[in-house]
Amino acid sequence: MNQPLRHLDRLGVLIVLMLCASWGFNQVSAKIAMVDFPPTTLAALRSVGGAILLGAYAFWRYPDLLKRDGTLWAGILSGLAFGGEFVALFIGLQWTTASHGILFLYSAPFFVALGLPWITPNETMSRLQWIGLALSFVGVGLALGVSSGSRDMLIGDALSLLAGALWGVTTLIMKGTRLRLVPPEKTLLYQLVVSIFILGGFALWRGEVFPTHISLKAGLAFAYQTVWIVSVTFAIWFWMVQNYRAGELSAFTFLTPIFGVAAGHFIMGDEITPGFALAVGLVAAGILMVNWPAKKRA
């Protein structure tokens, strides 16, 4: 049954904060793993490992997971968007800075907000919520120390923006198709399996080779991404999308790069810009504005 969507409650806020913190640290773990793993090969292997682990659990919990339920084409389309997101981001980072890439990747909530009225009219964003999204986006930019770039960055910025759009598309596909009615593990399996072919093919095309030596640190970072990030947090995220209002939920993803910057500072010694405190305030204010109407109606 298609249950009515909930506004973010205390449980939902705690869960999404845990997800954002996990994903923020994942940016640091990816840098650690890529010392030994080529980038696209790392993403492909992560999808392979996640598909095996999640598949074992999903088939144990849902023995009839492969039954016909009208989700095949939506699942394939979701997987294409999922794999394309990582390819677009990887190519984009060859042309632009990491700060620009991450900032434009986290434009995803804007695309979700733009698409929601077409598929779920009851989730239309108010003017206050749009202002809140804009404040959070500005806050992310300040936290990452983004400055104006040259024309040479235009291609990379555009591809990173495309990655953000594709991330938003995966959320909209879940909300607007029969994928919203199936277990979140099945949706994630669609994405992982399809992305294996996309990312693996891209890695072969680029001539990447499997690493001959993997250090303990890189191996642990890879395990963190595969076991916790892909197999657990992504499935929890899809459950959240199925049960909570997507506009309010997506606003919290702006916290992920904030956590990423903090993790980079404390773990890898990356410098935090002077505007970091202001950035956190803007992100927090934006999230409050996005969710304030929900509190008033609760």
pLDDT in tens, 131-156: 888 888 888 777 666 655 666 677 88
What pLDDT sits at residue 287? Answer: 74
Distance CA 256, CA 286 (A): 14
Distance CA 290, CA 247 (A): 8
The angle, 0 to 180 degrees and rounded to 10, between the axes of the packed helices 108-119 and 154-176 is 40
Instruction: Reduce the DSSP state of residue 230 to 3 states and report it.
Output: helix
Count of all residues that appear for the chain in the document: 298
Distance CA 5, CA 10 (A): 15
Cβ(185)–Cβ(234) below 8 Å: no
Going by C-alpha positions, the residue among 37, 47, 33 that lies closest to residue 231 is 47
Q: Tens digit of pLDDT for each residue in 51-93?
A: 999 999 999 999 998 888 989 999 999 999 999 998 888 788 7
Distance CA 164, CA 170 (A): 10
Q: What's the predicted TM-score (pTM) here?
A: 0.80
User: Is the pLDDT reported for residue 218 higher than 80?
Assistant: yes
Instruction: Reduce the DSSP state of residue 244 to 3 states and report it.
Output: strand
DSSP string computed for 175-206: HHSGGGGS-HHHHHHHHHHHHHHHHHHHHHHH
Q: Tens digit of pLDDT for each residue in 270-288?
A: 666 677 678 777 877 887 7
Q: Which residues of 117-130 are buried (b: 16+ CB within 10 A; e: fewer)?
A: eeebeebebeeebe
Which tokens go with 121?
């009219």
Q: Tens digit of pLDDT for each residue in 11-22?
A: 888 999 999 899
Distance CA 185, CA 52 (A): 12
DSSP assignment letter at 36: T
Where along the chain do its domains lie? 16-297
Q: Which residues of 251-278 are buried (b: 16+ CB within 10 A; e: fewer)?
A: bbbbbbbbbbbbbbeeeeeeeebebbee
User: Is the pLDDT reported for residue 295 higher than 50?
Assistant: no
What pLDDT sits at residue 148? Answer: 54
Q: At 46, give phi and psi (nearest 5°).
A: -65, -40
Residues paired with 6 in a beta bridge: 244
